[in-house]
Amino acid sequence: MDPETDPRGKTVLLIDSNQHLGTARARRLRLYGITVHTADSVEAARDRLKAKESAYHLVLVAPRENPEEAIQFHREIKRLHPEQRVAFFVGPPKYISFTCGRNVIPMPARRDTWADGLKGRLASA
């Protein structure tokens, strides 16, 4: 595998309150050799981030019930780990945004899947 697009060995924190979808997303990322830590809420994710000494390669948030909470959480992450990369699932399940708040810029996954779209981003993290 090309080292520039190889996400193996990267660590992601996946926050998703939908247990089935979160499990499926984590499983898909693990197929690429990505270590996935999961949290079913922002509160649980806060605990994980505070306990971790270094940043994750990516924090991936599915802001389902409360988008404002996700925005506040993004600010908290940046205070705790300024270098932390954060992405949000927005719109249809295949869209991902690397921005927050009103300036959300959806990044549609190519024809394959959202996970394939993340591979290159993670490889450069």
Does residue 110 have a pLDDT over 60? Answer: no
> Please, which pLDDT band fits residue 39 given cuts at 50, 70 and 90?
very high
Nearest to 121 by CA among 98, 101, 104: 98
Distance between CA 106 and CA 94 in Å, rounded? Answer: 9
Nearest to 29 by CA among 99, 96, 100: 96
Specify the pLDDT at position 38: 93
Specify the pLDDT at position 105: 46
Over residues 30-48, the mean pLDDT reads 89
Domains of the chain: 11-118 (3.40.50.2300)
Over residues 108-115, the mean pLDDT reads 53
pLDDT by residue (tens digit) across 3-31? Answer: 556 778 889 999 988 888 889 889 988 98
